[in-house]
Amino acid sequence: MTTATTDTQHPSTGRAIETVHLTRRFGAFTAVDRVNLLVPYGGIFGLLGPNGAGKSTVIKMLTTLLKPSAGTALVAGFDIAQAPGAVRKRIGYVPQLLSADGALTGYENLTLSAKLYGIPRAELKPRIEEALHYMGLTDSAQQLVKKYSGGMIRRLELAQAMLHRPAILFLDEPTIGLDPMACLSVWDRLRALNREHGMTILMTTHVMDEVDELCDGVAILHQGKLAASGSPAQLKAAVSEGASMTDVFAYFSGGSIEAGGSYRDARQARMTAKRLG
Amino acid sequence: MNTLMDFLAKSLAIAEMELRKLFRDPMELFSRAVQPVLWLAIFGQVFSQVRGIPTGNVSYLAFMTPGILAQSVLFTAIFYGIAVIWERDLGVIHKLLVSPSPRGALVFGKAIASGARGLVQAVIIYLIAFAMHISIRTDPLAIVGVLACVVLGSAVFSTFSLIIACIVKTRERFMGIGQVLTMPLFFASNAIYPLTLMPDWLRAVARANPLTYLVDALRMLMIEGGQGTHSLVVSFSVLGGVFVVFVVVAARLYPTLIE
């Protein structure tokens, strides 16, 4: 059985993610419209855009949850439509909602992930313990996850996502609904995964501080199209002297901040907030 | 071979966690025991006074005991799919589907867990039957056969439930459909009256109902002198065949839950 352990060794020149005219339609609505993205290995990449811009749809396609309507994407060198199985072995994913199973303990959640990723029996325990330790959850491993705080659940999810040592980690709004201290701890762990484990990270976010703190590269989506991409510094310089990330965001997403989020986004955010309650 | 082992290992990983959750909070298991007690102790006692139901050489109470076991399996398994709607809303399914697990294993694992849960129901019905002095077969082979039936039956109906969940996608619609389906499946079967009593159209429906084959096999294996309309081979083949088809369909539909 293959365990994606070898895939963190990659040529530094390689591309973690490469999309060509990536498109997804839902009926008559085009959620993602001919997006071309290039994400090199080794960095933390932010995917920005107002609610409904198509960020989550892009993530769902790149993580093989959704098939593109047109266009292609290579993730870790494999085509998402032709070789989804090869892609899945090489990526980790943390969904937007706090999705660890509350009725199981932290340890059990990790055991399930480890088994689903085909980690050999002999390595199960050391890998789980390493991940728990790395995320500062060793002492709460035997507690039911429903007793965890929001920040702990997020760190548990990061632990789940790192067990099989993926080359690329996908996160959908990793700090949504977390209190500031929990945010800091998640940021700290993400940076560590990036630097110490060499994981390439792609995340969507609405938090401009998060971009300034973490991201080496960003892409801004607007109404399903790529509006801009580059390093935060490049984009700021392109907008105006002394521009902040918020200015960049507003500039490239055409002032649509005012349009507000869709009902569904709002509902999900509220559900998350409630679970953290 | 490797693929098969991988499939089984991942199915078992799913099943193990489902069962851990179930036994951590066994309240549901006990509440499921109430209904069969009512059916056997009240409905069964009264109807065994009616002599008009041809049950062969067994008492009506003995005749309906396997039917009530099948009913209890059906009623529990048919609502199994609601859990995946929860998991979908929480994002758990997203995480499972991003893992390199065969979709079939994710579905099959849940069926195994449901099958194991059915075993608890079998034990409960056996206990009630003993308490009511219903003549039950106690030879090990018969008991093993009953347990195998129950596991297979639970797996069939829980996977059916999963398919419905994948189609309707919301709790409200799911509960509505679940309620609508259970009683017709139960009444259009030989659970509490024989096929021979039915009008032709109902008998035709009953013959297409997997529950009929479950009841049939259970009736032959569970009670002294119990007779079935079909042979055990036919009943097991039908249930097994239906299960395979359901797993294949459910594995295809499962990823659409999150689109």
Please give the full DSSP string across B55-81, using - where no structure is assigned.
-TTS-HHHHHHHHHHHHHHHHHHTTTT
Average pLDDT over residues B30-41: 86
Quick one: pLDDT band at residue B229, thresholds 50, 70, 90? confident
Inter-chain touch B95–A160, beta carbons under 8 Å: yes
Average pLDDT over residues B103-123: 94
Inter-chain touch A113–B92, beta carbons under 8 Å: no
Using the CB atoms, write b or e for A59-71: b if 16+ within 10 Å: bbbbbbbbebeeb
What does the pLDDT look like over A227-243, one tens digit per residue? 999 999 999 999 888 89
pLDDT at A201 (0 to 100): 97
pLDDT at B128 (0 to 100): 92
pLDDT at A261 (0 to 100): 45
**Among A115, A49, A67, A68, which Cα is nearest to A252's?**
A49
Chain A CB contacts of B10 under 8 Å are 115-116, 118
Nearest to A65 among B13, B89, B98 (CB): B98
Q: Are A217 and A45 in contact (CB under 8 A)?
A: yes
Tokens of A143: 């507690």
Q: Chain-wide mean pLDDT for chain A? A: 87
pLDDT at A5 (0 to 100): 41
In single-letter form, the type of residue at position B166 comes to: C
**Among A104, A105, A127, which Cα is nearest to A115's?**
A127
Range of the structural domain that residue B185 is part of = 2-258
- The number of helix segments (H) and strand segments (E) in chain A equals 10, 10
The helix (run of H) or strand (run of E) holding residue A25 is strand A15-26
pLDDT at A99 (0 to 100): 86
Distances from the Cα of A230 to the Cαs of A21, A187, A234, in angstroms?
18, 21, 6
Inter-chain touch B98–A108, beta carbons under 8 Å: no
Chain B CB contacts of A96 under 8 Å are 91
**Among A32, A194, B151, B177, which Cα is nearest to A203's?**
A194
pLDDT at A271 (0 to 100): 54
Domain count, chain B: 1
pLDDT at A264 (0 to 100): 46
Are β-strands A217-222 and A225-230 bridged in parallel, bridged antiparallel, or unpaired?
antiparallel
Write out A38-102 in H/E/C secondary structure: EEECCCEEEEECCCCCCHHHHHHHHCCCCCCCEEEEEECCEECCCCHHHHHHHEEEECCCCCCCC
Interface of A with B (CB under 8 A): 1, 60, 63-66, 85, 88-89, 91, 93, 95-99, 101, 103-104, 108, 111-113, 115-118, 160, 271
Rama region for A263: left / alpha / beta (φ>0; ψ in -120 to 50; rest): alpha
pLDDT at A2 (0 to 100): 39
Chain A to chain B Cβ contacts (< 8 Å): 73
What does the pLDDT look like over B124-164, one tens digit per residue? 999 999 999 999 999 999 999 999 999 999 999 999 999 99
* Residue B250 to chain A, least CA–CA distance (Å): 16
Inter-chain touch A99–B90, beta carbons under 8 Å: yes
What does the pLDDT look like over A199-216, one tens digit per residue? 999 999 999 999 999 999
DSSP 3-state assignment of B192? coil
- Give pTM, 2 decimals: 0.87
pLDDT at B78 (0 to 100): 92
- The number of helix segments (H) and strand segments (E) in chain B equals 12, 0
A3-17, A67-81, A182-196, B162-176: which range is least confident on average?
A3-17
Inter-chain touch A101–B259, beta carbons under 8 Å: no
ipTM: 0.88
Average pLDDT over residues A146-162: 94
